[in-house]
């Protein structure tokens, strides 16, 4: 496959991803991080193709009232506001608090939810029921949340900040923390279900969630407020919240709606039933079997990214090796510089730089494209070194014979040298592909739903890092297996070749010509 | 300079197809060729002999610019390339000239240098298709014909590693002939061969001589040089010492250096 074709393919994938949906209603793009955070907006554990959550339902209802169709744009939580200002989406709805700080960066709708911070302690530990009693103790909360600000303000509390609520409650359960303070919905969905954790004390503080839009987007703000008022007045908002067990006394106060609630929290119950720790191997087995479609999907993404990445690595690596070996001096120096720079820096940094860094100079890439590029460009450097060893292993008489037959250097490379070098480097290349397959787990950091990401998502949803870990490991082994066999086979073949001299230049001893293993 | 007085063979009736004028080549200050001049007439078979390291292979490689001479000029079939010194740049115009010149020259190497990833037929077909962009069908017909000519018609689909050295070298000759050269250069074509395989290669060269091909052979095969050559060039220390009719040089070498080389050689030891 030529380089041009490869680039075309990558572009085609990018375009496809960008034009996935085209329906009649105008679209309202909303940004959120739909990773694993119930109950806001998250992937349904039972059906991995479906997005659920109370915020998802609210924005759907709002969009409907506006005569539009809501469509999610996945974005990391930490960079939601920059994404909004870069016009990746029209609004943010993702538990974004209305605070003076945030109001400097974005405009907010009227609040769609009022809530508070909820304290949680270990079951059987009756020492603490409010913040004052926690002086000198370790308390966990989420990074950059109201909980963190409240804990800092309280003073003499040792604040431990987490990226992930599951780990915070896990550390509370196993005694690394004495208490955890988090937004009530999170405490309800992640703290309360933990058999070692209980929620205690009165509401702490007051939080307002609002829909954020770009500064000065007045017309949109007006429309959204209008739609929000309609779903509040019609009781639609309350119905949504009740189904998710989020209708609290505070909400009743704020919306001045004190009618008794009879609604069953069906969505809450479903989520709890789905994610509850199971007993009995049959049930556990059934759950793991239920994971298989999702794992298969992740495996396909992993394979796609790896294969495209390797194709890019092979093409770019060959180009680099040839330029380094046969190109003009300056180009050769540039190739060496590239190879050394890429091999001397961590792949993770390169992945983050390509996805989050390049937009600073106007290059915005889809996660899939960024992943393929990062892996491909990184492995290109290693492949270039591999091919250099291969090119060096071809006896110089081959180039001479080609030149004597009046081929140009390019013709000689293309028809004589490179095809032979390729055979020599096949075993190393196949092994490199297996490494790349495993390194592709690093692109889970750029929101690609590949295998490792699937592992994180499943394990945080089901509080099960152990069983899912074994399962995902097995899937990696399984998809790598054919390539391990291929590597063996190419090694065997090369060994046979060098014993018999088959397909090698006769008259030149080949034992000393096996390519150096460069990695 | 000494080599200017080098005796040329008696002018034959044919016009010279190859002229080398005052070729000088140094490797790291060491002069390997000290100003070599030679005229070769169309259809001649010329053997170049001499002790190892005398520069005979380098001279041959200078003729098709696999080695770029520091100074001197080469004319083959009307194409001339002149070099004024080692510091003269090898520019793209000269490279184009060199390709025009190489189009008229075929070369055969000591270690055959067949392309091991291709069958004999593909070896022969590659250059005409890639360089001359000729059509596959006509190239294939011609390639099979050439393989038949070097008595490898039945081996067209074999890979080089499946063949003996003699067969490989004959295939290498066919490969060179596929580019329809005016002059064939052989760089010790039988040195890497087992003795019993030497003759089959030499026979192909004799056949070509009968067809009127101009051939220059750097060789240690004194018997072949004597029997088949129109005349023999004896080189030593980067110079042509003597050019003579085959019988003359073997029976009555003029130069004492030639005499000494041949005596040592005839005593049996390969130089």
Q: Express each pLDDT in A325-349 by its tens digit.
A: 988 999 999 999 999 999 999 999 9
Look up residue B3 and give its DSSP letter: G
What is the arithmetic mean of pLDDT over B55-61? 95
Whether A14 is in a domain gets the answer no
Question: Chain B contact for A409, CB < 8 A?
Answer: no
What pLDDT does A7 receive? Answer: 52
| Nearest CA-CA distance, residue A419 and chain B, Å | 8
- The pLDDT-based confidence of B221 (bands split at 50, 70, 90) is confident
What is the arithmetic mean of pLDDT over B256-271? 75
To which H or E segment does residue A509 belong?
Answer: none
What pLDDT does A278 receive? Answer: 67
Residues of B in contact with A508 (CB under 8 A): 111
Torsion of CA A245, A249, A254, A256, to 10 degrees: 100
**Cα separation of A338 and A285, whole Å?**
49
What is the arithmetic mean of pLDDT over A309-321? 95
Give the closest residue to A434 by CA, choosing from A469, A474, A468, A476.
A476
Dihedral pair phi/psi, residue A240, rounded to 5° = -60, -50
The domain that contains A123 carries what CATH number?
3.40.190.10
Question: Chain B contact for A345, CB < 8 A?
Answer: no
Share above pLDDT 90 across residues of chain B, in percent, rounded to a whole number: 72
The answer to which of A13-22, A466-475, B151-160, B195-204 has the lowest mean pLDDT is A13-22
Whether A5 is in a domain gets the answer no
**Cα separation of A433 and A455, whole Å?**
22
- Chain B's closest residue to A497, CA to CA, is B161
Residues of B in contact with A502 (CB under 8 A): 159, 161-162
What pTM did the predictor assign? 0.66
Residues of A in contact with B162 (CB under 8 A): 502
- The pLDDT-based confidence of B103 (bands split at 50, 70, 90) is very high
Cβ of B109 and A401 within 8 Å?
yes
Question: Chain B contact for A392, CB < 8 A?
Answer: no
Does A439 score more than 80 pLDDT? yes
Question: Chain B contact for A507, CB < 8 A?
Answer: yes
Residue with tokens 């250059």: B127
- The pLDDT-based confidence of A11 (bands split at 50, 70, 90) is very low
CB–CB of A130/A202 below 8 Å? yes
Whether A44 is in a domain gets the answer yes
**Summary mean pLDDT of chain B:** 89
Whether residues A499 and A391 share a domain: the answer is yes
Whether A297 is in a domain gets the answer yes
What pLDDT does B271 receive? Answer: 43
- The pLDDT-based confidence of A407 (bands split at 50, 70, 90) is very high
The count of CB pairs under 8 A between chains A and B is 85
Cβ of B116 and A503 within 8 Å?
yes
What pLDDT does A220 receive? Answer: 93
Cβ of B111 and A397 within 8 Å?
yes
Dihedral pair phi/psi, residue B144, rounded to 5° = -65, -40
Cβ of A400 and B66 within 8 Å?
yes
Q: pLDDT for A204-215, tens place per residue?
A: 889 999 999 999
Total domains, chain A: 3
- Residue B72 forms beta bridges with which residues? B83
Residues of A in contact with B58 (CB under 8 A): none
Whether residues A286 and A270 share a domain: the answer is no
Q: Does residue A118 sit in helix, strand or coil?
A: strand
Does A418 score more than 60 pLDDT? yes
Structure tokens at A204: 């702490």
Cβ of A407 and B127 within 8 Å?
yes
Whether residues A196 and A312 share a domain: the answer is no
**Cα separation of B31 and A479, whole Å?**
62
- Name the more confident of A449 and A414: A414
* Domain housing A30: 22-95+216-275
What is the arithmetic mean of pLDDT over A57-75? 91
Examine the fold and report which residue of A275, A294, A312 is the final residue of a domain before the chain moves on: A275
Does B237 score more than 70 pLDDT? yes
**Cα separation of B169 and B201, whole Å?**
7
C-alpha distances in angstroms, A143 versus A76, A140, A167, A183, A334? 14, 9, 13, 12, 42
Whether A484 is in a domain gets the answer yes
Q: What was the ipTM of the complex prediction?
A: 0.91
**Cα separation of B88 and A418, whole Å?**
31
| Nearest CA-CA distance, residue B58 and chain A, Å | 13
Whether residues A342 and A463 share a domain: the answer is yes
The answer to which of A411-420, B87-96, B112-121, B200-209 has the lowest mean pLDDT is B87-96
| Nearest CA-CA distance, residue B257 and chain A, Å | 32
Whether residues A54 and A132 share a domain: the answer is no
Whether residues A220 and A202 share a domain: the answer is no
- The pLDDT-based confidence of A184 (bands split at 50, 70, 90) is very high
Examine the fold and report which residue of A191, A209, A227 is the final residue of a domain before the chain moves on: A209
CA B137 from centroid of its chain's CA atoms: 30
CA B265 from centroid of its chain's CA atoms: 22
Give the closest residue to B3 by CA, choosing from B46, B48, B34.
B34
- Chain B's closest residue to A507, CA to CA, is B111
CB–CB of B104/B19 below 8 Å? no
Whether residues A39 and A130 share a domain: the answer is no
Whether residues A394 and A508 share a domain: the answer is yes
Highest mean pLDDT among A144-148, A157-161, A440-444, B109-113: B109-113
Does A20 score more than 50 pLDDT? no
- The pLDDT-based confidence of A363 (bands split at 50, 70, 90) is confident
Torsion of CA A408, A414, A420, A423, to 10 degrees: 170
What pLDDT does A36 receive? Answer: 58
Whether residues A310 and A259 share a domain: the answer is no
Whether A9 is in a domain gets the answer no
Whether residues A383 and A480 share a domain: the answer is yes
Whether residues A488 and A463 share a domain: the answer is yes
What pLDDT does A513 receive? Answer: 34
Whether A449 is in a domain gets the answer yes
What pLDDT does A116 receive? Answer: 92
- What's A443-503 look like in SS3? HHHHCCCCHHHHHHHHHHHHCCHHHHHHHHHHHHHHHHHHHHHHHHHHHHHHHHHHHHCCC
- Chain B's closest residue to A499, CA to CA, is B161
The domain that contains A331 carries what CATH number?
1.10.3720.10
Residues of B in contact with A503 (CB under 8 A): 116-117, 159, 161
What is the arithmetic mean of pLDDT over B27-32? 90
Residue B117 has its nearest CB partner, among A403, A500, A503, at A503
Q: pLDDT for B104-156, tens place per residue?
A: 999 999 999 999 999 999 999 999 999 999 999 999 999 999 999 999 999 99
Q: pLDDT for A245-299, tens place per residue?
A: 999 888 888 888 888 877 888 888 888 888 776 667 777 788 888 888 889 999 9
Whether A8 is in a domain gets the answer no
Burial of B79 (0-12, 13-18, 19+ CB in 10 A): middle
Examine the fold and report which residue of A257, A275, A293 is the final residue of a domain before the chain moves on: A275
Whether residues A243 and A291 share a domain: the answer is no
């Amino acid at each position: 496959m030529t380089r041009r074709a490869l680039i075309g393919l990558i572009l085609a994938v990018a375009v496809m991803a960008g034009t996935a949906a085209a329906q009649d209603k105008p679209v309202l793009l909303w940004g959120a991080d739909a990773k694993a955070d119930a109950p806001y907006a998250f992937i349904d554990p039972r059906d991995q193709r479906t997005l659920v959550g109370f915020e998802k339902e609210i924005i759907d209802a709002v969009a409907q009232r506006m005569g539009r169709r809501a469509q999610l744009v996945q974005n990391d939580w930490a960079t939601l506001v920059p994404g909004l200002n870069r016009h990746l989406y029209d609004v943010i709805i993702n538990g974004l608090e209305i605070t003076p700080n945030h109001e400097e960066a974005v405009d907010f709708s009227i609040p769609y939810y009022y809530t508070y911070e909820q304290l949680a302690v270990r079951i059987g530990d009756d020492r603490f029921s409010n913040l004052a009693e926690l002086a000198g103790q370790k308390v966990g909360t989420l990074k950059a949340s109201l909980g963190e600000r409240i804990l800092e303000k309280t003073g003499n509390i040792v604040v431990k900040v987490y990226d992930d609520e599951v780990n915070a409650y896990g550390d509370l359960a196993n005694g690394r923390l004495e208490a955890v303070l988090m937004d009530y919905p999170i405490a309800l969905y992640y703290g309360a279900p933990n058999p070692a954790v209980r929620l205690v004390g009165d509401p702490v503080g007051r939080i307002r969630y609002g829909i954020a839009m770009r500064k000065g987007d007045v017309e949109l703000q007006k429309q959204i407020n209008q739609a929000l008022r309609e779903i509040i007045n019609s009781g639609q908002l309350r119905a949504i919240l009740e189904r998710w067990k989020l209708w609290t006394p505070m909400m009743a106060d704020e919306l001045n709606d004190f009618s008794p609630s009879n609604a069953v929290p069906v969505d809450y119950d479903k989520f709890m039933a789905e994610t509850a720790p199971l007993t009995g191997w049959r049930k556990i087995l059934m759950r793991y079997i239920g994971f298989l479609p999702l794992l298969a999907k992740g495996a396909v993404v992993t394979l796609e990214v790896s294969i495209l990445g390797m194709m890019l690595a092979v093409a770019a690596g060959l180009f680099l090796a040839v330029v380094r070996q046969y190109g003009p001096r300056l180009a050769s120096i540039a190739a060496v510089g590239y190879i050394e720079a890429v091999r001397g820096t961590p792949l993770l940094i390169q992945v983050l730089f390509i996805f989050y860094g390049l937009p600073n100079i106007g290059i915005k890439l889809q996660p899939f494209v960024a992943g393929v590029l990062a892996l491909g460009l990184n492995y290109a450097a290693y492949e270039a070194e591999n091919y250099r060893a291969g090119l060096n292993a071809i006896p110089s008489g081959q180039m001479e014979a080609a030149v004597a037959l009046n081929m140009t250097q390019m013709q000689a490379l293309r028809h004589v040298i490179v095809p032979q070098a390729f055979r020599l480097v096949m075993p190393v290349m196949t092994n490199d592909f297996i490494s790349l397959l495993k390194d592709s787990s690093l692109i889970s950091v750029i929101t690609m739903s590949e295998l490792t990401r699937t592992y994180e998502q499943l394990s945080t949803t089901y509080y099960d890092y152990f069983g899912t870990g074994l399962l995902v490991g097995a899937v990696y082994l399984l998809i790598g297996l054919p390539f391990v066999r291929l590597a063996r086979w190419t090694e065997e073949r090369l060994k046979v070749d060098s014993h018999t001299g088959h397909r090698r230049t006769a008259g030149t001893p080949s034992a000393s010509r096996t390519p150096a293993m460069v990695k | 300079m000494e080599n200017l007085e080098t005796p040329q063979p008696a002018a034959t009736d044919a016009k010279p197809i190859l002229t080398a004028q005052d070729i000088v080549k140094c490797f790291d200050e060491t002069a390997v060729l000290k100003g070599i001049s030679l005229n070769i007439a169309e259809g001649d078979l010329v053997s170049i002999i001499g002790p190892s390291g005398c520069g005979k292979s380098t001279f041959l490689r200078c003729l098709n610019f696999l080695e770029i001479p520091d100074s001197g000029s080469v004319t083959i079939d009307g194409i001339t390339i002149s070099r004024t010194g080692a510091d003269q740049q090898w520019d793209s115009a000269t490279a184009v000239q060199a390709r025009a010149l190489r189009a008229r020259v075929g070369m055969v190497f000591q270690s055959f240098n067949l392309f091991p990833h291709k069958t004999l037929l593909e070896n022969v077909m590659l250059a005409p298709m890639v360089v001359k962009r000729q059509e596959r069908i006509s190239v294939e017909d011609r390639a099979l014909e050439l393989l038949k000519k070097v008595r490898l018609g039945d081996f067209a689909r074999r890979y080089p590693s499946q063949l003996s050295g003699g067969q490989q070298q004959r295939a290498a000759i066919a490969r060179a002939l596929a580019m329809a050269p005016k002059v064939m250069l052989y760089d010790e074509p039988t040195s890497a061969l087992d003795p019993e395989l030497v003759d089959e290669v030499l026979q192909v060269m004799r056949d070509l001589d009968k067809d009127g091909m101009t051939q220059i052979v750097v060789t240690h095969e004194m018997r072949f040089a004597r029997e088949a050559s129109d005349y023999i060039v004896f080189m030593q220390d980067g110079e042509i010492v003597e050019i003579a009719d085959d019988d003359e040089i073997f029976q009555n070498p003029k130069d004492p250096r030639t005499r000494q080389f041949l005596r040592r050689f005839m005593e049996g030891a390969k130089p």
